[in-house]
Structure 1
Amino acid sequence: MLVIVTYDVSTVDPKPGARRLRRVAKICESYGIRVQKSVFECQVGNKELAEMKIKLADVIDKNKDSLRFYLIDQAMKARIEHIGTNLPIDVSEDTLMI
Structure 2
Amino acid sequence: MELLITYDVDTTTPAGQRRLRRVAKACEGMGHRVQKSVFEVVCEPAQRVQLEADLARIIDTNLDSIRVYQLDRGTFGAAQHLGAAVRPPHHGPLIV
Cα distance change, pair 32–76 in 1 and its aligned pair in 2 (3 A) = closer
User: Could you list the per-position Cα deviations for residues 15-54 of structure 1 after superposition, in whole angstroms to 9, with x for gaps in the alignment?
Assistant: 1011000000000000001110000011001000000000
Q: Where do residues 1-98 of structure 1 align in structure 2 (5 Å cutoff)?
A: 1-13=1-13, 15-74=14-73, 76-77=75-76, 80-84=79-83, 85-87=85-87, 89-90=89-90
Kindly tell me the number of residue pairs found equivalent between the two proteins: 91
Q: Which runs of 5+ in 1 are unaligned?
A: none
What letter matches 2:37 in structure 1?
Answer: S
What letter matches 2:6 in structure 1?
Answer: T
Contact 2:10–2:16 at 8 Å: present in 1 too? Answer: yes
Contact 1:41–1:89 at 8 Å: present in 2 too? Answer: no
TM-score, length-scaled by structure 2: 0.84
TM-score, length-scaled by structure 1: 0.82
**Matches of 2:39 and 2:87, distance apart in 1:** 12
**Matches of 1:69 and 1:23, distance apart in 2:** 17
Contact 1:27–1:55 at 8 Å: present in 2 too? Answer: yes
Runs of 4+ in structure 1 over 3 Å off:
75-79, 88-91
Q: Please, what is the CA RMSD of the aligned residues? A: 1.8
Cα distance change, pair 30–90 in 1 and its aligned pair in 2 (3 A) = closer
**Matches of 1:30 and 1:78, distance apart in 2:** 20
Contact 2:41–2:90 at 8 Å: present in 1 too? Answer: no
